[in-house]
């Protein structure tokens, strides 16, 4: 699993890798208490690269501009992923940008040092200049210095860059990491170096051996794929369709389909995909249960479109969670058999109309489970979207 930039820089700071003064921003109003002097840069904290090209990194000169920029960034998807936290960081003027990394090469089962005098957003176009050194024996400063020389560095830069690589390697080994990357490594005209951005990939199998690293991840409360965000994200102010999905790509496809069908999404919530490090059947059930609770408490939602693709648990178990959530709204239910379908729907106060599409195994069992609470399982996304928009339009006419 990957860490966000601000998490990676916490580990950099502990290892003595130079980083700029920074502050985590959970909501735009936090910038009113910013302790870093302006100008600052605001960075979207997402797991997808390329944020700078699409407006996820912005320089600001004062609090008013910072709050406005933060509001924009929080609502800016980066390849379908919305940030739930930003990083405010001091501005730093550099003369050059390098690329450095320590990565585990699984084909040879050895760490490899990587370096290039071209970093930042240009690194992908300068792969032919990328130098590497395989750490084939016990690590020593020789390996770091060798890479610095292969990069074509001279003078004091050899010492400063090789020193940076040594610290990166220690971090790599101490935490059983798969990748430690600094891109860019900022270099000033005087030769000072600074880690301006960082990426760390944790070895999932080794995470249990590092409780401090697990705690860093757990306390973040960010929308790592698979982690439930704090609240549904608002969309159209006059929308009535709520959308609940698992996975950023599925979420974006569903929102696009609703909009193309003439509907207006009110809010959306991504309960997370199934490729995260801690994915489990229990986690998915818990995330769905909490997600449903949050969505039905959003008064604007008149129709809730649930679109889930699951390989972790069968569809009938997902249906059971949905049915339980619906039944929890019924006053003192003892069993489904004691409640007529009409009474069930009438008593399910504040619960929006449900449109459900599930992809996975045991769909027919899921269909029967949902029919017991008067919810129809729809097979195709287009059909589900059409039904959701139709119900939303009807609710608008009748309101």
* DSSP string for 154-219: -THHHHHHHHHHHHHHHHHHHTTEEEEEEEEEEE-TT--EEE-SEEEEE-GGGGGG-HHHHHHHHT
Give one word for 239, left, alpha or beta, with left for phi > 0 and alpha for psi -120 to 50: beta
CA distance 280 to 157: 47
Average pLDDT over the chain reads: 86
Domains of the chain: 21-90 (3.30.1490.20), 96-218 (3.30.470.20), 233-398 (3.40.50.261)
Supply the pLDDT for residue 58: 96
Once rounded to an integer, what is the mean pLDDT over residues 216-244?
A: 65
Q: Is the pLDDT of residue 347 over 70?
A: no
Once rounded to an integer, what is the mean pLDDT over residues 316-336?
A: 74
Pick the closest to residue 196 from 186, 188, 204, 187 (CA basis): 186
CA distance 194 to 186: 5
Supply the pLDDT for residue 221: 44
Supply the pLDDT for residue 296: 81
Supply the pLDDT for residue 206: 81
Q: Is the pLDDT of residue 318 over 90?
A: yes
Instruction: Name the band, by pLDDT with cuts 50, 70 and 90, for residue 345.
Output: very low
C-alpha distances in Å from residue 282, one per residue of 152, 274, 286, 317: 52, 12, 6, 11
Instruction: Name the band, by pLDDT with cuts 50, 70 and 90, for residue 78.
Output: confident
Pick the closest to residue 47 from 249, 324, 338 (CA basis): 249
Over residues 3-37, the pLDDT tens digits come to 999 999 999 999 999 999 999 999 999 999 999 99
Pick the closest to residue 96 from 183, 13, 30, 215 (CA basis): 183
Over residues 168-216, the pLDDT tens digits come to 999 999 999 999 999 999 999 999 999 999 999 988 778 778 888 877 7
């Amino acid at each position: 699993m990957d860490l966000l930039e601000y998490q990676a820089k916490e580990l950099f700071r502990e290892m003595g890798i130079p980083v700029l003064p920074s502050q985590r921003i959970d909501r735009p109003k936090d910038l009113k208490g910013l302790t870093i002097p302006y100008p600052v840069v605001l960075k979207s904290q997402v797991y997808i690269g390329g944020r700078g090209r699409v407006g996820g990194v912005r320089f600001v000169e004062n609090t008013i501009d910072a709050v406005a920029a933060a509001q924009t960034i929080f609502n800016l998807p980066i390849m379908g992923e919305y940030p739930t936290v930003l990083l405010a960081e001091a501005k730093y003027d550099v003369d050059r940008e390098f690329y450095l990394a320590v990565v585990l090469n699984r084909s040879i089962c050895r760490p490899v040092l990587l370096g290039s005098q071209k970093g930042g957003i240009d690194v992908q176009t300068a792969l032919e200049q990328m130098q590497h050194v395989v750490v084939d024996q016990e690590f020593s400063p020789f390996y770091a210095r060798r890479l610095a020389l292969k990069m074509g560095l001279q003078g004091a830069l050899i010492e400063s860059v090789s020193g940076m690589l040594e610290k990166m390697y220690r971090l790599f080994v101490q935490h059983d990491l798969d990748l430690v990357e600094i891109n860019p490594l900022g270099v000033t005209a005087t030769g000072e170096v600074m880690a301006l951005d960082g990426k760390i990939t944790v070895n999932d199998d080794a995470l249990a051996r590092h409780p401090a690293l697990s705690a860093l991840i757990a306390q973040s409360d960010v929308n790592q794929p698979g982690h439930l965000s704090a609240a549904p994200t608002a969309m159209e102010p006059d929308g009535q369709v709520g959308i609940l999905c698992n996975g950023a790509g599925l979420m974006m496809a569903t929102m696009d389909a609703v909009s193309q069908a003439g509907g207006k999404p009110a809010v959306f919530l991504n309960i997370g995909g199934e490729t995260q490090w801690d994915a489990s059947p229990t986690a998915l059930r818990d995330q769905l249960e909490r997600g449903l609770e949050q969505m039905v408490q959003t008064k604007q939602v008149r129709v809730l479109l649930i679109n889930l693709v699951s390989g972790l648990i069968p569809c009938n178990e997902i249906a059971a969670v949905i049915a339980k959530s619906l039944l929890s709204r019924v006053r003192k239910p003892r069993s489904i058999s004691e409640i007529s379908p009409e009474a069930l729907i009438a008593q399910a106060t504040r619960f929006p109309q449900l449109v459900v599409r599930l992809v996975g195994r045991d769909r027919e069992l899921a269909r029967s489970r949902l029919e017991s609470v008067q919810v129809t399982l729809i097979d195709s996304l287009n059909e589900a979207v059409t039904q959701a928009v139709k119900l939303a339009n009807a609710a608008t006419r009748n309101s």
